Chains A and B, each alone.
Chain A
Amino acid sequence: MYAYDKYDQAMVDARVEEFRDQAQRRLDGKLSEDQFKPLRLMNGLYLQLHAYMLRVAVPYGTLNSRQMHALADIADKYDRGYGHFTTRQNIQYNWIKLEDAGDILADLAAVEMHAIQTSGNCIRNISSDHFAGAAQDELVDPRPYAELLRQWSSFHPEFMYLPRKFKIAVIASDTDRAAMRLHDIGIQIVKNDAGELGASFYVGGGMGRTPMIAPNIREFVPLDQLITYSEACLRVYNRYGRRDNKYKARIKILVHELGAEEYTRQVEEEFAHLLGQGIEPPIAELGRIKTFFTDPEFADGAKTVDRSDPDFALWVDRNTHRHKHDSYVSAVISLKPVGGIPGDATAEQMHLMAQLARDYSFDELRVMHTQNIVLPHVRIEDLHALWTALDEAGLGTPNLDRIGDIIACPGLDYCSLANARSIPLAQKISQRFTANGKEDTLGELKLKISGCINACGHHHAGHIGILGVDKKGVENYQLLLGGSEAEDTSLAKITGPGFSEDGIVDAVETAADVYLSQREDGERFLDTYRRIGMAPFKEALYG
């Protein structure tokens, strides 16, 4: 994985000093709260309902064991002994004191980590495929391109005060595991007819209150123009994105209002101009970065497991993913125990995951946008030992992509924007579907919960989505069906009037039952919904 050189280290160290200085000037009264707010946000510090929240960047979701140990230490030292993995492959701490923030950033810098641009109206942490470098179906490892974009976007002087936040995802496989088309810019690394690698650009996707699927604006950008093209996309947005209304300020609104064709024309014009400005990094830099992402030394070994223990066999079937080397798999550690808080891990669990990564996965871990952790390169013959250790620590839940593998935002339990709680709902749903035994029969069913229309819980992209709203002072939950964040991206539709907290759990079960009674061979919930449409679900829910 990528390692800092003296330049990268000097930059994060300078950032720590800058933040300490800014925090001191805030305390001295030289900076007003309004002036300080965007500065602390660009260092990941939010003021939430009960305390400050710190969001730490995990670039393209990749971590080593030393970094994971450091994250655990921060949870112990500065928080309440746990952290929360997020849908942007980051980690958040919910109980931070402002006066500790500088020291935390220094602890992070010591392990080549930071909280730079994890919030604010700037380019955020670049996300990627959590199976990058391991998946059997990828063209190349997408992370070197994400790393190049990380460097370009870090402290970019022109793009620190964009109309709104800006999220970029990079994938390199036709299977989309990063919700690429629901990003401000989604990039797929592709090969053209001449066999050259390039970047296909999708611009103007997003969730939030106006969900949109990004259109493709250019099928092939040569790799030695990747940064220049990105800069053109951003400059057009910075100049013409709406600033009169924060709810209409994301690039998706600009692309929608101009039309993809006109936006593309403006980008191409800016791109033609910028090509003459010499802003592209030397192509040797991409070569240098790629040397950090070469394959570890895989060794041949067993290709199957002993299935005599049914619990182990179930976990292998559910929670492992095909690897490009046939003696390995990628193993998913579920952070969704039944009745638990999606994405939370204790410091002890983080230490254990770090140790297991060292023992079994070439010292590497990934954060998934679905709030789980991946050990990307596990020898099939080590799986039983790995599973045994995970299971003992409460990390062996076999529910990847099942109804219990819920994405949920922090909701009204933590977030100052939320209208409703998300976490208790996730807990009730996972308990209900375990108790009634239906999780097993339902198969793949992605359920996502947001506690307000900002959609941090990705409810638009859930096979089943739940949106919490405030109805005359009472929490109310809308049900949505038919979303997908995968390569068949679609936006979920609202079924009808909302439900109470208990009513929504019943409604989810009713929708699941419609699927179970109507499904044809091999159909997932989403496939059945797409075939039969909303009507049978509405009938069962409201009829």
Chain B
Amino acid sequence: MVDILRFRDDEAVDHAAVTVDSFVEQTNANAVRIEPSDDARDLIPHLAQIHLVEVNFPVFGDGRGYSAARILREAGYTGEIRAVGDVLVDQIGNMKRCGFDAFEPDAPLDPADVKAALNRWPEVYQESADSRTPIWNLRHE
């Protein structure tokens, strides 16, 4: 069982993330936590100084965090995006496609299930924030 799953080689930020509101006021923070109702675009002017964005999933059925992650990647953010909270093995594949590269679930995930989930799909149909080539591009290479 693992507590934090990271798909990055750099050193993890070792202090707590602050809320978006306090981040915008506090110029030296480099880790910030997004709640579902926060607008990820508020962070875009500050991306150069951010090393970690935690995206909170209070309940796994609230899908706003998927858009938040993609918006940050689309804006060129290369730091860590970590899904925290009610993060379950059946959702992490899609989260990874949306740009998440770390997971800190409330309940630990079975590594074998994680491996199966992340290797499930032979291809993907559409473009997202990962580097996978969509089927419709493979067909016309």
B-contacting residues of A (Cβ < 8 Å)? 5, 7-8, 10-11, 14, 17-18, 21-22, 25, 30-31, 35, 38-39, 121, 151-152, 154-162, 227, 235, 238-239, 243, 273, 277-279, 281-282, 284-285, 288
Asked if residues A279 and B127 are in contact (CB atoms below 8 Å), the reply is yes
Among candidates A14, A18, A161, A282, residue contacting B62 with C-beta atoms closer than 8 Å: A161
The answer to whether residues A38 and B61 also contact, given A152-B125, A157-B98, A279-B126 and a CB cut-off of 8 A, is yes
Q: B94 contacts which chain A residues (CB < 8 A)? A: 155, 157-158, 160
The complex places the Cα of A10 from the Cα of B121 at a distance, in Å, of 8
Q: Answer whether A285 and B110 are a contact pair too, CB < 8 Å, given A161-B60, A239-B67.
A: no
| Distance from A165 Cβ to chain B, minimum over Cβ atoms (Å) | 13
Shortest CB distance A263–B (Å): 16
In the assembled complex, the CB of B73 is this many whole angstroms from the nearest CB of chain A, namely: 10
A419 to chain B, nearest CB (A): 26
Per a CB cutoff under 8 Å, which of B63, B121, B127, B137 touches A160? B63
A selection of 26 A-B contacts at a CB cut-off of 8 Å is: A7-B135, A7-B138, A8-B135, A10-B123, A22-B90, A35-B60, A121-B61, A151-B126, A155-B94, A155-B121, A156-B125, A158-B67, A158-B98, A159-B63, A160-B66, A161-B61, A161-B62, A161-B63, A162-B63, A235-B67, A239-B39, A243-B62, A273-B74, A282-B136, A282-B137, A285-B136
Shortest Cβ distance from residue B58 to the other chain A in the assembled complex, whole angstroms = 11
B45 on the A face (CB < 8 A):
no
CA distance A39 to B93 in the complex (A): 14
B51 contacts chain A at the CB level, 8 A cutoff: no
Contact A5 B62 (CB under 8 A): no
A11-B127 CB under 8 A given contacts A239-B67, A277-B74, A281-B137 = no
A7 to B126 alpha-carbon distance, docked (Å): 13
Q: Which residues of A contact B123 (CB under 8 A)?
A: 7, 10-11
A425 to B94, CA, bound (A): 44
Q: Provide the residues of chain A in CB contact with B98, threshold 8 Å.
A: 157-158
- Docked Cα-Cα span, A78 to B14, in Å, equals 55
Contact B121 A277 (CB under 8 A): no
Judging by beta carbons under 8 Å apart, are B139 and A288 in contact?
yes
Do B140 and A282 touch across chains, with their CB atoms under 8 A apart?
A: yes
Given A14-B122, A17-B120, A121-B63, 10 extra CB contacts under 8 A: A8-B135, A151-B126, A152-B125, A155-B121, A157-B95, A159-B66, A162-B63, A238-B63, A243-B64, A282-B137
Bound-state Cα–Cα, A538 to B70, Å: 55
What residues on B are CB-neighbors of A10 within 8 Å? Answer: 122-123
Known: A151-B136, A158-B70. A278 touches B127 (CB 8 A): yes
User: What residues of A have a CB within 8 angstroms of the CB of B82 in the complex?
Assistant: none
Q: How many residues of B contact A (CB 8 A)?
A: 38
Q: A18-B120, A39-B90 are in contact. Are A239 and B64 (CB under 8 A)?
A: yes
Q: How far is the CB of A451 from chain B (nearest CB, A)?
A: 26
Q: Does B124 contact A (CB under 8 A)?
A: yes
Once A18-B120, A277-B74 are accepted as A-B contacts, the answer to whether A30 and B134 lie under 8 Å apart by CB is no
Question: Does B47 sit at the interface, judged by CB under 8 A?
Answer: no
Knowing A35-B88, A35-B90 touch, does A284 contact B140 (C-beta < 8 A)? yes
Q: How far is the CB of B99 from chain A (nearest CB, A)?
A: 9
| Closest chain B residue to A120, Cβ basis | B61
A519 to B33, CA, bound (A): 66
Name B residues whose Cβ lies closer than 8 Å to a Cβ of A.
Answer: 36, 39, 60-64, 66-67, 70, 74, 88, 90-91, 93-95, 97-98, 110, 113, 116, 120-128, 134-140
- A370–B128 CA distance with the chains assembled, in angstroms: 36
Shortest CB-to-CB span from B132 to chain A, Å, is 10
Contact present for B125 and A5 (CB under 8 Å) = no
CA gap between A277 and B70 in the complex, in Å: 11
Which residue, B66, B88, B123, has most C-beta atoms of chain A within 10 A? Answer: B66
Known contacts A25-B113, A162-B63; is-contact A157 B128 (Cβ 8 Å): yes
List chain A residues, Cβ under 8 A from B113: 25, 30
Whether B116 pairs with A21 at a CB distance below 8 angstroms is yes
B103 to chain A, nearest CB (A): 15
Contact B60 A11 (CB under 8 A): no
Give CA–CA (A30, B114) in the complex, Å: 13
Q: Which residues of B contact A235 (CB under 8 A)?
A: 67
B140 CB to closest chain A CB (Å) equals 5
Q: Check if B128 sits within 8 Å of A158, measured CB to CB.
A: yes
Among residues of A, the one whose C-beta sits closest to the C-beta of B121 is A14
Interchain CB contact under 8 A, A11 and B70? no
- Could you tell me the distance between the alpha carbons of A30 and B88 in the complex, rounded to whole angstroms? 11
In the assembled complex, how far is the CB of residue A193 from the closest CB belonging to chain B, in whole angstroms? 30
| In the bound complex, CA of A151 to CA of B95 (Å) | 19
- Distance of A227 from chain B, by nearest CB (Å): 8
Q: Which residues of B contact A25 (CB under 8 A)?
A: 113
Minimum C-beta distance from A350 to chain B (A): 30
Question: Which chain B residues lie closer than 8 Å to A31 at the CB level?
Answer: 90
Distance of A281 Cα from B126 Cα, bound (Å): 8
Bound form: Cα–Cα A279–B140 in Å: 15
A residues less than 8 Å from B138 (CB atoms): 7
Does the CB pair B64–A155 fall under 8 Å? no
Query: How many Å from the CB of B69 to the closest CB on chain A?
Result: 9
Query: Contact between A285 and B139 (Cβ–Cβ < 8 Å)?
Result: yes
B66-A158 in contact (CB<8A): yes
The 3 A-B pairs at the shortest CB distance, nearest first, are namely A161-B63, A157-B97, A157-B94
CB B13 to nearest CB in A, in angstroms, measures 25
B120 touches A5 (CB 8 A): no
Assembled-state Cα–Cα distance A235/B40 (Å): 13
Chain B residues, CB < 8 A from A279: 126-127
